[in-house]
Chains A and B, each alone.
Chain A
Amino acid sequence: MSRSLNFKPSNDRATKITLTFACWTTAILFFLPIAWIIATALKPKNTVLDIPPKVLFVPTLQNLIDALSFSNTLSYFINSIIYSSIAVLLAILVSFLAAYSFSRFKPAGTDFLMFLLLSTRFVPAAAFVIPFFQLFNILKLKDSFLGLIIFYTMFSIPFSVWILKGFIDGVSTKFDETGLVYGAKRPHIMFKLVLPQVRSGLVAAFVFNIIFVWNEFLFNFQLGGLKTYGIPVGLFTSITKGGQVDWSFVASIGTLYVLPLALVIYFFQRYLLVGLTFGTVRGEV
C-alpha cells in the first residue's frame, strides 16, 4: 500500500519518518518569526538592535513587566477579555437559535439570508467605520462596553451561524421528532437534545470568533475610548516612544498576545478542525 500514493494516513515507517521531518521543519519555519518576537521580548532592551543579532543572552522579564505596567496596558488586556468573551458567548447563543431555525424549518429565503450574513465580511472595515461612528454617537454607545459588545456580537454571528447550521444539519431530525412525539417542548428539544450533540461546533465557533474579536483593531479604535480600548489599540497607540519604535514593548505585547491564543489552539485543536468541517456539510450553500 505504501507504494501507491493515497490520502490515507500513512502507516509506512519510512514515509512516516520523512513526513515527521517535513512537518516539523515546516512548523518551525513558520514559527521562527514569532520566536524572534518572543526572543526580543526576553532580551535586554539595549541589545535589541545589535548586529550581529544577540542569539545567546540572559533572558529578562523586565520588558514584559514594563509593558504590562506601561500606562493602561493591563486594563486594555482586561477590557479585551471582557468584551470579547461576552460578545462571543452572546453571539453563539443567538446564532444557535438562528441556526436551528435555518436547519429545521428552512424558512423562505434561507440560502439568501445565509449569504447575506456572510456579506458582513465583504467590505473593508474602513468603509463601515464612519456610519458606525455616527450611529454610535447618536445612540450614545461610544466608549461603552454595551456598544462594543453589541458590535462584536454582530461581528461574530455570521461565522457562528454557518458553523452551527452545519452541525445541526448533521444531527438527525429523528431526535426532534421523537421528542415531539413524547410531548417535549421545543426549548427542551433544542437545548437538551440537540445542543449537546453540537458541542464541537459550539467550541469551534467560540475559538474562531475569540481569535477574530481579540484581533479586531479599527472598530475598537474608533468606537471605543479610554475606558474600553482593547489590547490591539493599546499596542498600536504606544508603538513609538520619543519618535522611535519601542521594539521591546511591541515584542512584549506580541508575546503576551500569542500565549493565551497558543494555549487555546493547543487545547482546543480538535474543535478547530472539526468546527471547520461545518458538521461536514457539503455543497450546502
Chain B
Amino acid sequence: MVSQTSAKFEESLKERPKKRPDKNRKLSWLLLAPVLAFFALLNVLPTLWMLGLSFYDYTLTSYKAPTFTGLTNYSDFVKNEQLSASVSRTFIFLILAVIAQTLLGILIGVFFWKNDKMPGRRLALTLFFTPMVVTPIATALFWKLMLDPTFGVVNYMLTSLGFSRTDFLTSSTLAFPTLIVVDTWMWTPFMALMTLAALGSVPKAELEAAAIDRLPIWRQITSVIWPHAKFILMLGILLRSIDAFKTMDLTYIMTNGGPGDTTELIALSLYRFAFKSFKLGYSSAVSVFLLFIAIALTAIYLYILNAKKKAEQTE
C-alpha cells in the first residue's frame, strides 16, 4: 500500500497544482479560517501574553504589584550560571539521546523493513511500539522501581549474575546516562517507525533497480534512499529533538533533577519557577528564550533540507 501512494506522488510531481486565478483567493482563506482562528486564540494570544509578561516582575506570591522591569528577567537568566548549566546539560541530553534513538531506530527499522513477511510481524511491531504510547507517568515510575537497588528486578538480575548492586539513579555519574537509556527505550520505536515510513516512501522500482545493479550499499543509501527518505527521517529527528529539548516527565519522576542538579534539564527548572515559585515574569522570559532556541533548531533543520533540495533542482 505504501507503493501506491508513492506512485500517486510521482504522478503529482508532474502535475504540480498550478497557481489558480484570484477568484480562488477568497475561498482559500475561507477554508483556512477555522484553523487560523484556533491558532490565533490558542497560540498567538498566549505567546504574546508570555512575551509581555517576560518584561514584568510578576510573582504570584509577592505582595508587590507587577512592575515593568524591561529586560531584567532576561539578564537575570543569562547571568545565572546554574541555569546556563542546565541549558547546556539539556543540549547534551538532546544530542546523545537523539543520536542513540536515531541510529538504533534506523537499524531496527531496516530489520523490520527487510523482513516484511515475517511471522507475527504486526504483533511484534505492536509490542515494540508500546513504550512510546503509555504515559511516562507510569513507565517512568516503574523504571524507578525496576532500577531500585533494594526492590528492583534489574538489580536482582545483576546480583544473581554475579555483578555488584548498581545504584543507577542516585549516583551522580550514572543518573544522567541512565535517563538517556530510558529515554532511548521510550523513543527508539518512534524513530524506527519513521524509518519504516521513510523507506516506504522510496519507490519500489528504484529499490529493485538498485539491487539488480548491485550498487554498493553506500551508493544505494546516498543516491536512492536518501533523496526520498530524508524528508520523513529529518522530520522524525526534528520532532524528537524538539521533544527531547522539552523533556520533563522523565526527569521529574525518576530523579527530580537529582542527584544534586546532575539531571536538572531546563524544562524542569522552568516548571519549578512557574509552579513552585510562581515567578510568572521570570518563567516567561525563560520560555521566550527556549522558544527562540527551538525555532532556531527548526530553522537549521529546514535549511539543511531546503539547501539539499535546491541543490538537486539545479543539478
A and B touch in the complex (CB under 8 A): yes
Tell whether A117 is near chain B: CB-to-CB under 8 Å. yes
Give the residues from 1 to 41 in chain B that come closer than 8 angstroms, CB to CB, to chain A: 1-2, 5-6, 8-9, 11-12, 15, 17-20, 24-25, 27-29, 31-32, 34-36, 38-39, 41
Query: Are A280's CB and B5's CB within 8 A?
Result: yes
Query: Are B8's CB and A4's CB within 8 A?
Result: no
Minimal Cβ-Cβ distance residue in A for B192: A26
Tell whether A122 is near chain B: CB-to-CB under 8 Å. yes
Query: Are A51's CB and B134's CB within 8 A?
Result: no
Which A residues lie within 8 Å of B124 (CB)?
Answer: 23-24, 27
Nearest CB of B to A248, in Å: 12
Q: If the complex has contacts A131-B46, A200-B1, are A94 and B25 also in contact, measured as CB distance less than 8 A?
A: no
Query: Are A250's CB and B138's CB within 8 A?
Result: yes
Tell whether A72 is near chain B: CB-to-CB under 8 Å. no
Query: Are B156's CB and A128's CB within 8 A?
Result: no
Partner of A284, one of B25, B198, B225, B231: B231
Query: Are A23's CB and B121's CB within 8 A?
Result: yes
**CB within 8 Å: A-B pair count:** 368
Query: Are B214's CB and A170's CB within 8 A?
Result: no
Minimal Cβ-Cβ distance residue in A for B18: A173
Nearest CB of B to A142, in Å: 15
Query: Are B207's CB and A273's CB within 8 A?
Result: no
Q: If the complex has contacts A119-B298, A277-B201, are A105 and B283 also in contact, measured as CB distance less than 8 A?
A: no
Q: If the complex has contacts A30-B188, A123-B294, are A129 and B274 also in contact, measured as CB distance less than 8 A?
A: yes
How many residues of A are in contact with the other chain, CB < 8 A? Answer: 112
Partner of A273, one of B17, B137, B197, B220: B197
Query: Are A128's CB and B5's CB within 8 A?
Result: no
Q: How far is the CA of A105 from the CA of B21 in the complex (A)?
A: 9
Which A residues lie within 8 Å of B245 (CB)?
Answer: 124
Q: How far is the CA of A162 from the CA of B139 in the complex (A)?
A: 29
Tell whether B161 is near chain A: CB-to-CB under 8 Å. no
Which A residues lie within 8 Å of B68 (CB)?
Answer: none
Minimal Cβ-Cβ distance residue in B for A245: B141
Nearest CB of B to A46, in Å: 13
Q: How far is the CA of A52 from the CA of B28 in the complex (A)?
A: 65
Bitwise interface map of A from 113 to 142 toward B, beta carbon under 8 Å scored 1, else 0: 101111111111111111110110000000
Minimal Cβ-Cβ distance residue in A for B301: A285
Query: Are B45's CB and A274's CB within 8 A?
Result: no
Query: Are A282's CB and B227's CB within 8 A?
Result: yes
Q: If the complex has contacts A36-B153, A170-B12, A277-B197, are A131 and B45 also in contact, measured as CB distance less than 8 A?
A: yes
Tell whether B112 is near chain A: CB-to-CB under 8 Å. yes
Partner of B128, one of A30, A174, A277: A30
Partner of B220, one of A6, A115, A116, A150: A6
Tell whether A146 is near chain B: CB-to-CB under 8 Å. no
Query: Are B31's CB and A101's CB within 8 A?
Result: yes
Q: How far is the CA of A235 from the CA of B136 in the complex (A)?
A: 11
Q: If the complex has contacts A52-B156, A124-B246, A131-B50, are A172 and B11 also in contact, measured as CB distance less than 8 A?
A: yes
Can you name 14 A-B pairs with beta carbons within 8 Å?
A: A24-B118, A24-B120, A33-B143, A123-B246, A127-B290, A157-B35, A167-B5, A173-B18, A239-B137, A254-B135, A265-B130, A273-B196, A277-B200, A277-B232
Residues of A at under 8 Å CB distance from B?
A: 1, 4-10, 15-16, 19-20, 22-24, 26-28, 30-31, 33-34, 36-37, 40, 49, 51-53, 94-95, 97-98, 100-107, 113, 115-132, 134-135, 150-151, 153-154, 157, 161, 167, 169-174, 186, 200, 211, 215, 217, 232, 235-236, 239, 245, 247, 250-251, 253-254, 257-258, 261-262, 265-266, 269-270, 272-285
14 other contacts beyond A9-B115, A24-B124, A173-B15, with CB at 8 A cut-off? A7-B221, A9-B116, A23-B115, A98-B34, A101-B28, A105-B28, A106-B19, A116-B43, A117-B35, A119-B298, A124-B245, A266-B126, A273-B193, A282-B227
